[in-house]
Structure 1
Amino acid sequence: MQQAILLISITMKKLVLLLLILPLLASAQQNKRVDSLQNLLTHTKADTQKVNILNQLACTKWDTEFTRCIKNATDAIALAGRIKFLRGQADGYLNRGDVYYGKLKPDSAIADYKAGIEVSKKAGYSKGMAIGYDDLGVIMRTQGHTAEAIAYFQKAAEIYTTINDLDGSSNSYTNLANNYNQLNQFDKALTGYTKAYQLRVKIKARLKAAQSLAGIGMTYRNKQLFTTGPDKTNFKLSVQYMNKALKEFIELKHEVNQGLAYKELGITYLQDEDYVNTLKNLLPAEEIFTRIGFKRELGSLNKGIGRAYLYLKRYDLAKL
């Protein structure tokens, strides 16, 4: 079992939950949106509307148009400051922080998130405060400051609850759960994912609810690795929740998450040394990722597939 775990980059000492992610919008669609917003900006006379458009531009294609997005956010901050549009200024700081964070400039991102929170406080803009706290929590977690991350996520969750933003609350609970997973505090992680799931069901956010189910399943898997003795209750629960998530992803026709769910199920069976079921899940994941060009997942998949074939003595298929 230990070899299998090492091959898929999961250690007994530190487990990092693999997040299910949504694919980016097609580049052509984003180009069209940028052109549309820039055209609208040119023909807009009201300054508050200009600030809002600049903020929309700042968070469109920030991953490939860093310089433009920084300028758009900076222009929004400056214009909003001149006309004393505090909410628009707060959004500008938060958006610019996102762009800096995406470009691995955490110090600049932290400064902007904190500025966004302070301006949001002055404006009575509760959601802006919550967004800023969530964003700061993410950075603190990536820097290893887990206690600070938890404090920020909790602040965000409390604000979202106060303003009855159920989607925001579910995201904060998910962030808390991710953090507790890193700390190997699995019961607290399960509480966070479960709260997020319940909220997402309530607001009929079906895809996000399925992702919460997957988070619960992976947490039970992590918990199983720290369980001594023959009890496999956590393993069974892990498979149960992951299969529930997979069923939802299939019904929603969401291929990226289908592939990731198959992969996580395969990893779970590999850890349990059930190599037949490992292949029943890793092979569909490989097929999906190959078809949609999701290449970054194929390396670890191939290692897991090769290991399973090796243990099944199918040496002709074991490509390690």
Structure 2
Amino acid sequence: MKRFTLALLLLPFFSHAQNPTVDSLKKALTQAKADTTKASIYYQMAMELQGIDPPAAQKMADQALAISQKANYYKGVANVYYFKVAQSNYGGDFEGMRVNAEKCLEISLKHNLLTNQALGYNGLGIYYWQTGNYTAAIKNHLAALKIRERLTDEKGIASSAGNLGMVYLDNEKLNEAEKYATIGLEMGKKIGNPNIQINCMHTLANLYSARKDYTKALKIDKEAIIICEQTGNKRGLSQIYSNMAHCYGELKLYDKSLSYNFKTLETDIFFGDEKQQSDTYLNIGEVYKDKGQYAEAIKWLKKSLPLAQKTQYKQGEKNIYRVLSIVYEKMGRYPEALEAGRKYQDLSASIVNENNDKQIATMQTVYETEKKEARISILNKENTIQKLSISSRNKTIGIIAGLFLLSLIMGGLFYNRHQLKQKALMQKQMLEQQDVLTKAVVNAEENERKRIASDLHDGVGQLFSAVKMNLGGLFDRITMDREEDRFLAENTLALVEESCKEVRTISHQMMPNMLLRSGIASDLKSFIEKIDADSLKVSLEASGFKSRLESTVETMLYRVIQESINNVIKHAKATHLNITLNRTAAGITAIIKDNGVGFDSSKAENFTGIGLKNIQTRIAYLKGTIAYNSAPGQGTAVNIYVPVG
């Protein structure tokens, strides 16, 4: 009975006559000059018309896509894929939802489009909710919520809260569902967004219906109908009518239940939503079954069955056979009842097996794809080596022939000269190859840092945040009479909060968010400010950094200095650390000096630590030098020089 449209995907719904937004967009389109502006307007019109006139909405989306592709407007392309997410949901095409949401997210991540990233995560959250994977649904909705909070997007935050309410409701977590739906409703009212209000009210109505509080559920439904009628929201009316039909059916007011089911059916037919038509036919059949009108029940159930099979709505097909089995039994048609019951059991088993088979097939596909890609890579390398061998052999033959002819004229002197050139060329190639290998190692390490930092921040960090939120909610609902219990609860929350901060600090150190925007001097200052000044006082003097360095040089030099500071924190037992950075036209000089325990710098080359090796690798790649000046009990000075240009 729970019918959620994509209003929480931020789709507006108004009637043509009452939609000043469409008229305003049409006017703006006639005045638009830039292709990107035109693409954005066509997309907005497509989203406005999605719930009103699907064919017109499709035409607008096609225009937006054509213009965006021609202009290389990646945000426009991502927008259209998001439109397709909504389109697929309307048609009950859940696989289409997943594919288009993933494409929207892929483009958004590649081009750092934060708003579209949130939309992509939101679409995936709806997909996983629709297909019953509540853990994945919550994970994606939280990812969307995080971005929207970062952007202070109130509309998006309200949408994500409403989506979480829907997921928790289907997962039968009624308290959590009520909490998030209420948050979404209040924010929807605050920003004046009727779509979010309607969907959150529908969630709450379903919730009270699940608690068998039908009076309260119907009261909310009637309030939502007023908003739907004011805004011409046909999809919203379908949601509300379906829930009201369920409530009246449970109250045994069957005629009222049928009346609202037929109103729901009108909307399903208007949008051509065959999956929802099948669902409504099933609901009508169930009402006639409860009324004892079994022949009429069979009529509607048989109308529902082919649509469920056509749209591959196996959950609906299973429920149809379940109700048919009951009806046939009531009518004394036992062979047909047994046959319908058998099909119900077979479908129940196949749905479980199909889910497992899909997971196995997905993993197998990933495995085979990676295997093929690895094989292609090997073949490409072998082909390259073969070409190089042939080329090298041909060059050698030519050189030998040339040397033979030249030796008749020039003799041994020219031959020796040629050998020296070959040796120099080989040395140059070896040096170039070494640079390539060093760069590959450094890039691989930097990418791995980013991956780990992202996993910490988005995985562990989100889990800690969820734990903190759930513990806070739990402690609010539990009365603790003993002082030691309250003390333990507060300490537990404090530990979780401290863990959140620790994970965030580690992930930021591994992948500084501002590195490519603020420059090395500013980022080092931010890094130093996070060090406990009571344990280690750090000073930084930087000059000559008015213009930016090349990004690779900035990143590597930042990592070298960061690793050096970490070495001081871990090993030096110092109380003061002074860092001096100076940039000239020739290069960059960095001096990192502490008053710690020191060491025998004459043995520095024997050190085998990973951190020092990473420092040496990066300095070598930058063609710079590093020197350690230290003695036991006299502190340490690290002198770094990196040429520029």
What amino acid does structure 2 have at the position aligned with 1:282?
S
Answering whether residue 162 of structure 2 is matched by residue 174 of structure 1, we say yes
Residue 153 of structure 1 deviates from its aligned partner by 0.5
Structure 2, gaps ≥5 residues long: 270-276, 298-645
| Counterpart in the other structure of 1:92 | 77
As a proportion of its length, which structure holds more strand?
2
Kindly indicate whether structure 1 or structure 2 has the higher relative contact order, using CA contacts under 8 Å at least 6 residues apart: 1
Q: Deviations for 1:150-182, whole angstroms, at most 9, x for unmatched residues?
A: 111112122223333222112111222222233
The match for 2:149 among 151, 161, 168 is: 161
Residue 101 of structure 1 deviates from its aligned partner by 6.6
What amino acid does structure 2 have at the position aligned with 1:221?
S
| Counterpart in the other structure of 1:249 | 225
Q: Is the 8 A contact 1:55 1:72 kept in 2?
A: yes
Separation (CA, whole Å) in 2 of partners of 1:107 and 1:251: 31
Separation (CA, whole Å) in 2 of partners of 1:77 and 1:127: 19
Separation (CA, whole Å) in 1 of partners of 2:139 and 2:29: 40
Q: Deviations for 1:258-280, whole angstroms, at most 9, x for unmatched residues?
A: 56434423323434xx31x343x
Residue 219 of structure 1 deviates from its aligned partner by 2.1
Q: Is the 8 A contact 1:134 1:172 kept in 2?
A: yes
Separation (CA, whole Å) in 1 of partners of 2:179 and 2:82: 30
Separation (CA, whole Å) in 2 of partners of 1:97 and 1:260: 22
| Counterpart in the other structure of 1:114 | 105
| Counterpart in the other structure of 1:192 | 180
Separation (CA, whole Å) in 1 of partners of 2:18 and 2:219: 33
Q: Is the 8 A contact 1:136 1:152 kept in 2?
A: yes
Residue 60 of structure 1 deviates from its aligned partner by 7.2
Q: Deviations for 1:9-62, whole angstroms, at most 9, x for unmatched residues?
A: x7xxxxxx32267797679999xx79x969947x85434434434544765767
Go from structure 1 to structure 2 and tell me whether the alpha carbon gap of 1:294 and 1:50 turns closer, same or farther (over 3 Å shift): closer
Q: Deviations for 1:180-231, whole angstroms, at most 9, x for unmatched residues?
A: 2332322222222111111112223345324322211212333xxxxxxxxx
Q: Is the 8 A contact 1:260 1:285 kept in 2?
A: no
The match for 1:76 among 48, 68, 85 is: 68
Q: Is the 8 A contact 2:124 2:140 kept in 1?
A: yes
| Counterpart in the other structure of 1:268 | 247
What amino acid does structure 2 have at the position aligned with 1:99?
K
SS of equivalent residue, structure 1 residue 52: helix
Go from structure 1 to structure 2 and tell me whether the alpha carbon gap of 1:107 and 1:67 turns closer, same or farther (over 3 Å shift): farther
Answering whether residue 289 of structure 2 is matched by residue 307 of structure 1, we say yes
What amino acid does structure 2 have at the position aligned with 1:244?
I
| Counterpart in the other structure of 1:6 | none
Separation (CA, whole Å) in 2 of partners of 1:269 and 1:209: 23
Q: Is the 8 A contact 2:105 2:117 kept in 1?
A: no
| Counterpart in the other structure of 1:282 | 257
Separation (CA, whole Å) in 1 of partners of 2:207 and 2:281: 23
| Counterpart in the other structure of 1:147 | 135
Go from structure 1 to structure 2 and tell me whether the alpha carbon gap of 1:182 and 1:78 turns closer, same or farther (over 3 Å shift): farther
| Counterpart in the other structure of 1:229 | none
Separation (CA, whole Å) in 2 of partners of 1:207 and 1:37: 22
SS of equivalent residue, structure 1 residue 319: helix
TM-score between both structures, scaled by the size of structure 2: 0.35
SS of equivalent residue, structure 1 residue 184: coil
Q: Is the 8 A contact 1:76 1:89 kept in 2?
A: yes
Q: Deviations for 1:50-77, whole angstroms, at most 9, x for unmatched residues?
A: 4434544765767547688356425404
Go from structure 1 to structure 2 and tell me whether the alpha carbon gap of 1:287 and 1:26 turns closer, same or farther (over 3 Å shift): same
SS of equivalent residue, structure 1 residue 127: helix
| Counterpart in the other structure of 1:230 | none
| Counterpart in the other structure of 2:588 | none
Residue 249 of structure 1 deviates from its aligned partner by 1.3
Residue 95 of structure 1 deviates from its aligned partner by 1.8
TM-score between both structures, scaled by the size of structure 1: 0.65
Q: Is the 8 A contact 2:108 2:114 kept in 1?
A: no
Structure 1, gaps ≥5 residues long: 1-9, 11-16, 82-87, 223-233
Q: Please show how residues 196-207 of structure 1 align to structure 2 within 5 Å.
A: 196-206=184-194
Go from structure 1 to structure 2 and tell me whether the alpha carbon gap of 1:255 and 1:129 turns closer, same or farther (over 3 Å shift): closer
Which stretch of structure 1 is more off in the superposition, 53-62 or 137-146?
A: 53-62
Separation (CA, whole Å) in 1 of partners of 2:194 and 2:32: 37
Answering whether residue 296 of structure 2 is matched by residue 319 of structure 1, we say yes
Number of residue pairs matched by the alignment: 269
Go from structure 1 to structure 2 and tell me whether the alpha carbon gap of 1:146 and 1:74 turns closer, same or farther (over 3 Å shift): farther
Q: Is the 8 A contact 2:97 2:124 kept in 1?
A: no
What amino acid does structure 1 have at the position aligned with 2:162?
T
What amino acid does structure 2 have at the position aligned with 1:285?
Y
The match for 2:215 among 208, 231, 239 is: 239
Equivalent pairs: percent with the same residue?
Answer: 14
Q: Is the 8 A contact 1:255 1:288 kept in 2?
A: no
What amino acid does structure 2 have at the position aligned with 1:109?
N
CA RMSD of superposed structures (Å): 4.1
| Counterpart in the other structure of 2:570 | none
Residue 243 of structure 1 deviates from its aligned partner by 1.5
| Counterpart in the other structure of 1:129 | 117
Q: Is the 8 A contact 2:14 2:48 kept in 1?
A: no
